[in-house]
Amino acid sequence: MIYPECPDTFWSFKHALKFIRKRAGSPPLGLLTVAAMLPAEWSKRLVDLNVTRLRAKDLAWADLAMVSAMVVQRESARQVIGRCKAAGLKVVAGGPLFTIEHDQFEEVDHFVLNEAEVTLAAFLEDLKHGWAKRLYTSEERADLRETPIPQWDLADLRRYGWMSIQFSRGCPFNCDFCNVTALFGHKFRTKTTGQILAELDDIYDRGWRAGVFFVDDNFVGKKEVLRTDLLPALIAWQKNHPGIPFQTQVSINLADDEDLMRMMAEAGFHMVFIGVETPDETSLVECNKKQNQGRDLVADVKRMQRCGLQVQGGFIVGFDSDEPSIFQRQIDFIQKSGIVTAMVGLLQAFPGTKLYERLKREGRLLGRPSGDNVDGTMNLVPRMSAERLREGYRKILERIYSPKNYYERVRTFLREYKAPKAQERVRLESVLAFLRSVLRLGILEKGRLGYWRLLAWTRFRRPELFPLAVTLAISGYHCRKVCRSLGLE
Ligand code: B12
């Protein structure tokens, strides 16, 4: 089971993970889930190229290679497939990259696309009889109550920064650029609370004592299930399992529900990622982001922070309605909201989305997306001139990640933030990460004064948030490094 290499992007966290001597964010949950669905008598090995190499002896050992990838891993996936074929292996491919562009991979023997819970059994049955087809696909949505516990024993957990688990798939909203709903639909499906507790227990019993990311498309897609079932169970679980903070992805309407926010914080959630996209109302209408329209988005973010939920935000520029003033407006919004981790991307159109179809009709598509909307590339002809857009985009990144603005934003956030209930224990590893940050950010880097100011401010004003301030300082360093490597700073 092979997971190709992810490039060095904002979301790779590569430069930040080095501080805690980890190689990658999390193990590939898709492959580990598929592994648990394979016949018990099969011998399996996971080769995640983000933490290890693919050795000739791995290829010699195997009969079959199963590859999973996102679009952003396209090039590495191609190389992996080439090597497997050269070693005489049959290659089976699945996951988001192949689900949307399998026609680009001629060497693959079998595609098992969409959700493996639906498509894998037929492939395995045919394989057993020696008549497996090239393509297995289905529009049917999986019932997650049938999803097995991922086979974590295949991964060397010590090499990762956090663990991933998934409670639900599907999102009720209909944003026109969204690849998630194109892949997993709007129907909100969940595992049972029993399944989630079993997964958490399994991770905990393997000695895991750090963060867990609920990788749901929209964790609050059905609030009642959370309120009456999952969150009370997680609150109880946290009491006996300290040191496991949770994070997840939600829509902004969570800010309307103070009780639910408090319950989430109580259950150990300390961070949520939200697609904020843009402060421009016309652009929100253009992309059909209904849930963000007609709101005071800064006030929403602050309400969440005050409940103990740090907000990470996704932002987009390049909508047709964007005026040249959008760049400064995005900068002002991000600084004011205290969204420290702000992932600003240029609009990209993924096959299968409404945006892609519209641009195709208008003759404005320029090939396939790179899959990483924060690498400065676009696969569409924007309304604003491409040069102006790229220049404006560069300006946003330059400003929000300049040490001065970044450290100031961290302070804006810490002023508001209620210290979370569940926190990772301070270990030797954290102390060493702090010392490394002193060297890199406090002595060697240009913006070192901002680093010391932040630490001093936090020490006196919010001492309980000191470890978080250090973590955020390290994240900022990662973002600056990525900007620099893309030539965007
Ligand atoms: C967690 C997550 C991440 C994590 C970690 C990912 C990791 N380690 O692999 C982080 C935060 C690092 C991340 C980063 C990014 N991500 Co991401 N991420 C997700 C998320 C939310 C969940 C993935 C997951 O674990 N799902 C749970 C598992 C069980 O599902 P699954 O992997 O899809 O697997 C199922 C099927 O696909 C299939 N399957 C999968 N693999 C295989 C293999 C075989 C052989 C078979 C038979 C079946 C099969 O069976 C599984 C069970 O049904 C998804 C959204 C989503 N709902 O999937 C986006 C998603 C995968 N990410 C996406 C993107 C774009 C990115 C970024 C490029 C964003 C950015 N702009 O920087 C970065 C890239 C990072 C990098 N370093 O380059 C896109 C990918 C789109 C695409 N078509 O490729 C998604 C779909 C979200 C979106 N906006 O559309 N991501």
Compute the average pLDDT of residues 163-171.
96
pLDDT above 70 covers a percentage of the chain that reads 100
C-alpha–C-alpha distance, residues 155 and 158, integer Å: 9
pLDDT of residue 488: 61
As given in the structure block, the two tokens for residue 424 are: 């990772």
| Helix runs in 38-73, H state only | 56-61
3-state secondary structure of 194: helix
Mean pLDDT score, 26-35: 98
Q: What is the rounded average pLDDT of the residues 350-377? A: 91
Residue nearest to atom 11 of ligand 1 (CA): 11
d(CA 291, CA 252): 7
Coil, helix or strand for 317? strand
Indicate the pLDDT class of residue 485, thresholds 50, 70 and 90: confident
Burial group, residue 146, by CB count within 10 angstroms (0-12, 13-18, 19+): exposed
Q: What is the pLDDT of residues 269-315, one digit of tens each?
A: 999 999 999 999 999 999 999 999 999 999 999 999 999 999 999 99
Q: How confident is the model at residue 181 (pLDDT cuts 50, 70, 90)?
A: confident
How close is the Cα of 446 to the center of ligand 1, in Å?
35
373 CA: nearest ligand 1 atom: 71
Mean pLDDT of the chain: 94
449-469 pLDDT, tens per residue? 999 999 999 999 999 999 999
pTM of the model: 0.96
Ligand 1 atom, smallest distance to 100 CA:
83
Whether residue 489 is predicted with pLDDT greater than 80 in this model: the reply is: no
- The pLDDT value given to residue 182: 81
Confidence of residue 89 (pLDDT cuts 50, 70, 90): very high
Instruction: Summarize the confidence of residues 235-264 as an average pLDDT.
Output: 96
Report the pocket of ligand 1 as residue ranges, CB < 6 Å. Answer: 6-7, 9-12, 25-26, 28-31, 33-34, 66, 68, 70-72, 92-97, 100, 112, 115-117, 120, 142, 164, 166, 179-180, 183-184, 215, 217, 345, 350, 371-374
Are the CB atoms for 483 and 489 separated by under 8 Å? Answer: yes
CA of 44 from ligand 1 middle (Å) equals: 21
Please tell me the predicted confidence (pLDDT) of residue 24. 92
On the question of pLDDT at 422 being above 80, the answer is no
CA distance 435 to 193: 40
- Over residues 140-160, the mean pLDDT reads 96
Quote the pLDDT of residue 328.
98
CA triple 413-415-416, angle to 5 deg: 70
d(CA 459, CA 411): 12
Counting atoms of ligand 1 from 1, which one is nearest the CA of 98? 83
Residue 426 has pLDDT above 90, yes or no: no
Res. 5: pLDDT tops 90: yes
Look up residue 10 and give its two tokens. 């904002």
HSE-up (13 A, CA, CB side) for residue 219: 25
pLDDT-based confidence at residue 333 (cuts at 50, 70, 90) = very high
Q: What is the pLDDT of residue 280?
A: 97
Work out the average pLDDT over 58-68: 97
Q: Which long-range contacts (CB under 8 A, 24 or more apart) does 200-209 make?
A: 200/165, 200/237, 200/241, 200/244, 202/149, 202/152, 203/152, 203/163, 203/165, 204/241, 204/244, 206/152, 206/153, 206/157, 207/157, 208/157, 208/163, 208/244, 209/243, 209/244, 209/424, 209/425
Q: What's the mean pLDDT in 403-409?
A: 96
